[in-house]
A and B are shown apart, each in its own frame.
Chain A
Amino acid sequence: MSAEIQEVRDFLAAHHPFDLLPAEVLGDVARSVQITYARRGTVLMKPGDKVDTLYVVRTGAVETRDPDGHLLARPCEGECFGVRALLRGGVAVNRIEVIEDSLLYSLSAVLFQQLRQDYSSFSYFFAAFDGGRIGDAMKVNAKDVDFLTKQVSELLTREPVTCTPDIDVRQAAQHMRDKRVSCLLITDDQGSLSGILTDRDLRGRVVAEGLDYTTPVTRVMTPNPRCVQAETLVFDAMLLMSRHNIHHLPVLKDGAVAGCLTTSTVVDSQSASPLYMAKKVHGATEVAQLKAVISQVPSLVEGLASQGANTHGIGHVVSALTDAVAVRLIHLAEAKFGPAPVPYAWLAAGSQARQEQTAVSDQDNCVILHDSYDPVAHGPYFKQVMQFVSDGLNECGYVYCPGEMMATTDKWRQPLAVWHDYFRRWIEEPDPKALMLSSIFFDLRLIHGDASLFDDLLGNVLEKCRKNRIFQAYMATNALTHRPPIGFFRNLVLISGGDHDHTMDLKHNGIVPIVDLARVYALAGGIKAVNTFERLEAAREAKVLSTDGADDLRDALEFISMIRLRHQAGRIREGLAADNYVSPDELSSFDRSHLKAAFAVVKTLQAALASAYQLGRF
């Protein structure tokens, strides 16, 4: 019987996820630790190496990079590494190098797997590692899901997609494509489940193995897969999925296949209450009612964030509510002042247009009027309507734009021809200062009115932008105004002094730089999308941006936004106003190192942009 060493036990007990283990198990874990010391520069694993231990940094720090050299993480004191290798059958996927002399604890792979199997919370912590880049760090926070009472059957949205066992893999794949599903349930004559085939199986067991397309589906499917009953609690189903690392879970009801639960259906199911809010907006007849609904937005955001929704999703939900309020106000105005005398389009600009609002913020909007507009005959009507809408938004909390970028400003309520002329001047005779102010108008989205007016303008603008490299260079210069708060030595650069001493402005130095980069890519690629995530995706497809660049920026944006959102949710819970100033002290070392990695991504892509447009020359 070996003796327990209290130092080791205490250390593990103070760190996640070991703190989740019961006391007696923790003692066994501590007893089984092996300790090594590695000097800076030691390479602990390279892709392809066999790995049979989980490492925990006792002191020091290491660096994990993927095979392309991208920095994934910098585990330091109390953090684990080697996890991905263990989750992938004991073969290293990344390169791990010691960057500070380190004392390392290691645990055997056998023990690690045993703990994952026996303790779901422990397993859940590591589930987050089994994906890839920075983005994964976020899932760790998705644990407090309020699914204790919901049944799996409530989440099933469609009939199960099934097939008989006599088809071949090609037919199976065609079926999956036609039905747009990522998994196929194979049922026998009696309709009972005999196997499951997923996208991943087609990749791993058919294509990678070089099997013939006429291979019977029964040869590559997973026979007798794990499944749950329709009455199973969603919570339990989620645990099952995470414990066994499966993404598809067939659901049975009375012995027959009732559907298939996927990880995404589980996540999607969480937006129930915003739908309810949207319904109330549509039914409102007075501004006061709208205000009452919108006053719930902070707690909605807080709730979604604590349920682990991603910021992309939250941005959509909050922006959709803003849209609904605007549309409702326009309807109320039209009811009050009568229908519009000429067609027009009411457009949102800025973050609402990008569907990236995570809080109630300033209103930015404008109006394109039909060219038949007559200022004398129609002017007063539109001025009144827009004033009503803008006042209503202001009352709901979408305060007047300090720069007056609103449809109430005469300059931003103009006929189509005038708008064409605005954009022509911005693009063909760019003036840096004017561009900085007008960049908000390069993120526009139709909220209400005549789509053809907007399409006409947008098509022309995109075409002009795509062809004009000098204009793009100006926009690129613009995109470099805000820099990530990271120094030469990868240290976080903090605001010093003032109200926000010892913090970082995650909006202006974290999110805005990425939004600005995406805008340049979009304009250079003639891309219609305005949402930053969609722009990055489209830029990748248009080959304006490398696949790695797009992935990295997306993950960086998601991560920075998530940190900001969590900070804001925390402030809301404490009854404070949400702001963007995050102190590194409120972050775990895990988050801090990921945040640094995210900032480093932004810095790298800003540098790439500068060199692509040779911005030194402007």
Chain B
Amino acid sequence: MLAKFLGPDMARWVLGWRSPPGPLKDYYRTDTATEDKPYTQVEMLAVDIETTGLDAEKDEIVSIGFVPIINGRIILAEAQHHLVRPDGKVGDEAAKVHRLLDDQLQSAAPIADILPLFLAALRGRFGVAHHALVERGFLSRACRQVWGQKLEVPFLDTLALEHRLMTRRNQSIADGALKLASCRDRYGLPRLRVHDALSDALGCAELLLAQAAHCSGKKPAAMRDLLE
């Protein structure tokens, strides 16, 4: 709502002002680059989370992986991968999907310990995610739980971008064509063999670089063209 009335920058300022001192406030106090900048001159953070279910209001984050893309280069040295201890039990289904066991998760840190690391990495950067709605929803709720304020991130959604690009090229969009793996196939990117939050974050980062390269003419595409 705030963003609608005030515009994103103002909304961030308000959220920052409302946030208690700490990682979330620090995050809001740092500006991201403007959207007219080419993607090769900005900082981004590709992120992927694994959750106990699909409902951002009920389900919980069990792992998070993120890796920065700085000036068009994915920097693995700054990649992070964390398991997160959920408050409740992990459902059997989710455990099967993520191959994470309750035992492993019980020894992990709670989300309140992990979020500061994530927010520190996110400072001054655009978010990148495949189907960003999930990351946006879950991470925002986590911030609300910890600091009482939501998380408002300018997210670059590789799924939405792919949808736009395919529509623009008049390609028909079959079932499953927008899955991360299918999108990667389209750009000749290698099949991912490991599926955890960090590998998928990397997979998404690589996809973004490929999409951005294909959106670029003589000059690299501006962030504005990639965001929405």
Do the beta carbons of A36 and B74 come within 8 Å of each other?
A: yes
Q: Does A8 contact B (CB under 8 A)?
A: yes
Find the residue from B78, B192, B210 having the highest chain A CB count within 10 A: B210
Q: Does B16 contact A (CB under 8 A)?
A: no
Give the complex CA separation of A33 and B75 in angstroms: 7
Q: Does A167 contact B (CB under 8 A)?
A: no
Do the beta carbons of B199 and A7 come within 8 Å of each other?
A: yes
Give the complex CA separation of A8 and B198 in angstroms: 11
Identify which of B105-113, B125-133, B160-168, B182-190 touches chain A. Answer: B182-190
Within 8 A of A (CB), among B175-195: 187-190, 192-194
Do the beta carbons of A2 and B188 come within 8 Å of each other?
A: no
Chain A hits for B78, CB < 8 A: 2
Instruction: Out of B76, B193, B214, B216, name the residue touching A35 (CB < 8 Å).
Output: B76
CB-defined interface of A84-114 with B at 8 Å, one 1/0 digit per residue?
0000000000000000110100100000000
Instruction: Out of B72, B76, B193, B194, name the residue touching A33 (CB < 8 Å).
Output: B76
Give the complex CA separation of A8 and B206 in angstroms: 12
Closest to B208 in A: A37
Closest to A6 in B: B194
Give the complex CA separation of A35 and B74 in angstroms: 5
Do the beta carbons of A5 and B206 come within 8 Å of each other?
A: no
Give the complex CA separation of A37 and B189 in angstroms: 10
Instruction: Out of B76, B80, B81, B189, name the residue touching A32 (CB < 8 Å).
Output: B76
Q: Please give the distance in Å from A375's CB to the nearest CB on chain B.
A: 75
Do the beta carbons of A10 and B190 come within 8 Å of each other?
A: no
CB-defined interface of A11-50 with B at 8 Å, one 1/0 digit per residue?
1000000000000000000111111111100000000000
Chain B hits for A103, CB < 8 A: 188-190, 206, 209-210
Do the beta carbons of B76 and A101 come within 8 Å of each other?
A: no
Give the complex CA separation of A37 and B220 in angstroms: 12
Do the beta carbons of A35 and B205 come within 8 Å of each other?
A: yes
Chain A hits for B74, CB < 8 A: 34-36
Chain A hits for B216, CB < 8 A: 39
Q: Does B73 contact A (CB under 8 A)?
A: yes
Do the beta carbons of A58 and B76 come within 8 Å of each other?
A: no
Q: Please give the distance in Å from A33's CB to the nearest CB on chain B.
A: 5
Q: Please give the distance in Å from B40's CB to the nearest CB on chain A.
A: 10
Give the number of residues in B that approach A within 8 Å (Cβ atoms). Answer: 30
Q: Does B114 contact A (CB under 8 A)?
A: no
Closest to B196 in A: A6
Instruction: Out of A31, A39, A59, A100, name the residue touching B76 (CB < 8 Å).
Output: A31
Q: Does B77 contact A (CB under 8 A)?
A: yes
Do the beta carbons of B75 and A34 come within 8 Å of each other?
A: yes
Chain A hits for B205, CB < 8 A: 35
Do the beta carbons of A10 and B193 come within 8 Å of each other?
A: yes
Q: Does B65 contact A (CB under 8 A)?
A: yes
Known: A7-B194, A37-B209. A31 touches B77 (CB 8 A): yes
Known: A7-B192, A7-B193, A35-B206. A2 touches B213 (CB 8 A): no
Closest to A40 in B: B213
Q: Does A148 contact B (CB under 8 A)?
A: no
Chain B hits for A3, CB < 8 A: 65, 79-81, 198
Do the beta carbons of A5 and B190 come within 8 Å of each other?
A: no
Chain B hits for A31, CB < 8 A: 76-77, 79
Write the residues of chain A forming the contact surface with B, with a CB cutoff of 8 angstroms. Answer: 2-3, 5-8, 10-11, 30-39, 58-60, 100-101, 103, 106
Write the residues of chain B forming the contact surface with A, with a CB cutoff of 8 angstroms. Answer: 65, 67, 72-81, 187-190, 192-194, 198-199, 202, 205-206, 209-210, 212-214, 216
10 closest cross-chain pairs (CB), A and B: A3-B81, A37-B209, A35-B74, A34-B73, A33-B76, A6-B194, A39-B213, A37-B210, A3-B79, A2-B77
9 more A-B contacts (CB under 8 A) besides A2-B76, A35-B205?
A: A2-B80, A3-B80, A5-B79, A5-B199, A7-B194, A35-B202, A59-B188, A59-B190, A103-B190
21 residue pairs bridging A and B, Cβ less than 8 Å apart: A2-B76, A2-B78, A2-B80, A3-B65, A3-B79, A5-B198, A6-B194, A7-B190, A7-B192, A8-B76, A10-B193, A10-B194, A34-B76, A35-B202, A35-B206, A37-B206, A37-B212, A39-B214, A60-B188, A101-B213, A103-B188
